[in-house]
Amino acid sequence: MASISVAFTILSVLLSSVSLATSDPAFDNFLQCLHNHINPSDAISEAIFTPASSSFESVLQAYIKNGRFLTPTTPKPLAIIAAGHESHVQATIICAKFHGLQIRIRSGGHDCEGLSYRSNTPAVLLDMFNLRSIDIDIQNETAWVQAGATLGELYYSIANKSKVHAFPAGVCPTIGVGGHVSQGGYGNMLRKYGLSIDNVIDAQIMNANGTILDRETMGEDLFWAIRGGGGASFGVILSWKIKLVSVPEIVTVIHVDRFLEQGATDIVYQWQQVAHNLDNDLFIRAMPQVVNGSRPNEKTVKVSFIGFFLGQMDRLLQLVNESFPLLGLKQNECKELSWIESTIFWADFPNGTSIDVLLNRPSKPVTAFYKTKSDYVKNVIPKEGLESIWKMMLLRDWNMRMEWNPYGGKMNEISETETAFPHRSGYLFKIQYSTSWADEADIDNQINWLRDVCAGMETYVTKNPREVFMNYRDLDIGSNPSNQTDFKNAEVYGHKFFKNNFQRLTKVKAAVDPDNFFKHEQSIPPYSV
Ligand SMILES: Cc1cc2nc3c(=O)[nH]c(=O)nc-3n(C[C@H](O)[C@H](O)[C@H](O)COP(=O)(O)OP(=O)(O)OC[C@H]3O[C@@H](n4cnc5c(N)ncnc54)[C@H](O)[C@@H]3O)c2cc1C
Ligand SMILES: *[C@@H]1O[C@H](CO)[C@@H](O)[C@H](O)[C@H]1NC(C)=O
Ligand SMILES: *[C@@H]1O[C@H](CO)[C@@H](O)[C@H](O)[C@H]1NC(C)=O
Ligand SMILES: *[C@@H]1O[C@H](CO)[C@@H](O)[C@H](O)[C@H]1NC(C)=O
Ligand SMILES: *[C@@H]1O[C@H](CO)[C@@H](O)[C@H](O)[C@H]1NC(C)=O
Ligand SMILES: *[C@@H]1O[C@H](CO)[C@@H](O)[C@H](O)[C@H]1NC(C)=O
Ligand SMILES: *[C@@H]1O[C@H](CO)[C@@H](O)[C@H](O)[C@H]1NC(C)=O
Ligand SMILES: *[C@@H]1O[C@H](CO)[C@@H](O)[C@H](O)[C@H]1NC(C)=O
């Protein structure tokens, strides 16, 4: 018996080293290091996917959200470590550092430029999707949420425990908590409760030494930096402790479409003046997009107003009638729902979709391509300006749209330096430009159209710096090769994302990761100022 089991052990060691062997010695040593580092009961083998593994492609593709980064020329990681345990995260950090490999960290994979999984420098992908527990404490109105949980799972779990609690974050349920929260996180409760980071009270992060830190042990500088500065420059976020917020049992959503022919320009002009000043319970997004007109081959602009109100329809109709009369809001353009049902509406699922959809994980590779850019607006755009914007949009593509997201309310009450996220008071709204398409051959045209429209907006948006929302990551604003140590563009993208908070972020970086282990094309450099 004993000799059989010894023989079996030797055989399996041989087999596993055969299947692990590659042509890259640093990488082989890295894999060996993972095995040496981990207690066998932590089952690291099941977490490792190399290109030789049959499921490597499907694991890689599962959390790629943008067809632009699912092409044959997109560089692939050396391996994927789908951590099932904190010790796997630790071994990945320590072994990658020791053997001179970079890592990429992925939670939900929604990074607009795919930086959580693609790298021009050979890198190991640390995938967090298995670390997704959610622990809700309704009595204390808090929750611990692991990085790999999605917003949909978080929303579902909260609603499962209470009808009058919620969390302010984005509207797309498949977004990962790990990336989203560390880069700000905004949604339709922004005017009432601020960003996700404004409702984070503690966090667990693993640093470059593989040590787990919480708010107390990381200190207030690092805790400040990971609220808006992005986690991926500082360490691996393991989990967030969040503060739940109160919502009424019934909320109301709005969907209104107005075309240019119906006076959309005047309505948008009034929206700019009032949307940031409305009752904090009310958030109305304006969404201009190019659509087919009433005659063949004619295009027009439709502006959709998508609203969320923390209250019932009667009061909403009265508020809108008083403050935003040009919208002409009618009862049949509103719908009363529970908060959790409103998340389904905001995610664009058809009326009547079960809330179970919030728990869906990706089942097939993405087919759409997209590109996103962003801007902030502080001054009302005159009517002639609006007309020239519609003209610019009409000259180009059918799939282009903008989302104008109102500011004000709680955002005006939080100082620019409270967290690393600097775009706080004095803004009327934030613009997201996006285009999506289905044919790979259209990549250049689509992206150029989007860039042209964005360039044409220069006179209406913030200047010096022209500010950009980090969660709408955009490599057009500058990047550095992730394998270099001169950060010639960091000042540029750094000020666009963080304004004057950039300098403090570089100091925190120099203190917690002086060797710059945690880096990517738009990470924060460890300047020693
Ligand atoms: C369809 C769609 C809708 C969106 N809607 C909204 C919205 O309503 N509101 C909004 O604010 N944003 C929105 N976004 C942007 C989104 O919030 C960001 O892309 C966000 O960073 C995604 O988080 P993720 O974990 O899914 O992304 P990932 O691609 O996994 O990560 C994004 C970045 O964070 C880093 N990161 C990820 N996990 C960790 C971790 N555990 N520790 C350290 N670093 C980590 C990555 O390395 C990368 O740099 C949307 C994006 C898409 C594609
Ligand atoms: C909840 O709050 C109470 C009172 O503030 C505190 O004693 C208790 O430890 C908290 N529970 C948790 C799980 O934090
Ligand atoms: C909570 O979730 C469980 C498991 O999905 C489900 O069976 C139960 O009905 C849910 N309860 C509520 C109140 O939503
Ligand atoms: C818009 O019109 C074009 C032809 O002009 C047509 O091919 C397309 O399907 C139409 N799109 C929609 C959404 O109706
Ligand atoms: C809006 O308010 C005016 C009075 O200010 C009133 O006459 C009108 O009926 C109201 N309209 C709606 C739709 O409530
Ligand atoms: C949504 O569905 C409900 C029934 O589930 C129906 O009563 C309602 O009219 C529908 N609303 C819209 C806007 O389609
Ligand atoms: C660094 O990256 C660039 C591309 O970003 C590549 O051309 C170069 O060879 C890399 N250098 C090293 C040392 O890996
Ligand atoms: C990491 O370990 C090194 C060597 O022990 C030590 O000098 C450094 O301060 C540690 N860094 C952190 C962030 O703990």
Q: What is the CATH number of the domain that holds 417?
A: 3.40.462.20
Q: 252: exposed, middle or buried (C-beta count within 10 Å: 0-12, 13-18, 19+)?
A: buried
Identify the pLDDT of residue 5: 39
What is the helix (H) or strand (E) element at residue 507, kind and residue range?
helix 501-512
Nearest ligand by distance to the CA of 349? 6
The rounded Cα 19 to chain-centroid distance in angstroms is 36
Q: Pocket of ligand 7, candidates 73, 78, 102, 120: which has the most ligand atoms within 8 Å of its Cβ, to mutate?
A: 120
Q: Which of 433, 424, 327, 326 is nearest to 375 (CA)?
A: 433
Same domain, 203 and 327: no
Altogether, the residues listed in the chain come to a count of 529
Measure 299 CA to ligand 4 centroid, in angstroms.
9
Asked whether 331 lines ligand 5 (CB < 6 A), one says no
Residue 397 has pLDDT above 80, yes or no: no
Nearest ligand by distance to the CA of 94? 8
Mean pLDDT of 271-276: 98
As a whole number, the mean pLDDT across the chain is 93
**What are the CB-based long-range contacts (under 8 Å, 24+) for 153-159?**
153/358, 153/359, 155/340, 155/343, 155/358, 156/340, 156/355, 156/356, 156/358, 156/359, 158/244, 158/340, 159/338, 159/339, 159/340, 159/355
CA pair distance 109, 127, nearest whole angstrom: 9
Tokens of 268: 């948008």
**pLDDT band of 528, cuts 50, 70, 90:** low
Measure 273 CA to ligand 4 centroid, in angstroms.
34
pLDDT (tens digit, 9 = 90+) per residue, 192-242?
999 999 999 999 999 999 999 999 999 999 999 999 999 999 999 999 999
Tokens of 195: 């960003």
Tokens of 108: 């939900």
Nearest ligand by distance to the CA of 143? 2
Cα dihedral 163, 193, 198, 162 in deg (nearest 10): 0
Under DSSP, the state recorded for 176 is B
Radius of gyration of the chain (CA): 24
Which ranges in 77-196 belong to alpha helices (H)? Answer: 86-98, 151-161, 177-182, 190-193
Identify the pLDDT of residue 42: 77
Amino acid at residue number 173: P
Same domain, 95 and 143: no
Write down which residue in 192, 214, 246 finishes a domain. Answer: 246
**pLDDT band of 22, cuts 50, 70, 90:** low
CATH code (residue 66) = 3.30.43.10
CA pair distance 52, 245, nearest whole angstrom: 46
Asked whether 500 lines ligand 5 (CB < 6 A), one says no
Nearest CA to ligand 8 atom 4: 209
Residues belonging to the active site: 472
Q: Pocket of ligand 4, candidates 257, 291, 292, 300: which has the most ligand atoms within 8 Å of its Cβ, to mutate?
A: 292
Number of domains in the chain: 3
Which is more confidently placed, 367 or 212?
212
Residues 6+ apart with CB under 8 A from 143: 134, 135, 136, 137, 154, 157, 158, 167, 241, 242, 244
Nearest CA to ligand 8 atom 7: 209
Write down which residue in 94, 127, 160 finishes a domain. Answer: 127
Same domain, 241 and 265: no
- Give a yes or no: residue 303 inside a domain: yes
Mean pLDDT of 355-367: 93
**pLDDT band of 169, cuts 50, 70, 90:** very high
Write down which residue in 460, 480, 505 finishes a domain. Answer: 460
Query: Which ligand 8 atom sits closest to the C-alpha of 512?
Result: 13
Nearest CA to ligand 8 atom 6: 209
Residue with tokens 């759409």: 368
Measure 227 CA to ligand 7 centroid, in angstroms.
31
Residue-number span of the structural domain to which 193 is assigned:
134-246
- Give a yes or no: residue 216 inside a domain: yes
Same domain, 160 and 174: yes
Same domain, 96 and 237: no
Same domain, 383 and 329: yes
Identify the pLDDT of residue 381: 98
Nearest CA to ligand 8 atom 5: 209
Asked whether 178 lines ligand 1 (CB < 6 A), one says yes
Measure 143 CA to ligand 4 centroid, in angstroms.
47
- Give a yes or no: residue 9 inside a domain: yes
Identify the pLDDT of residue 43: 80
Same domain, 121 and 232: no
3-state secondary structure (DSSP) of residue 191 = helix
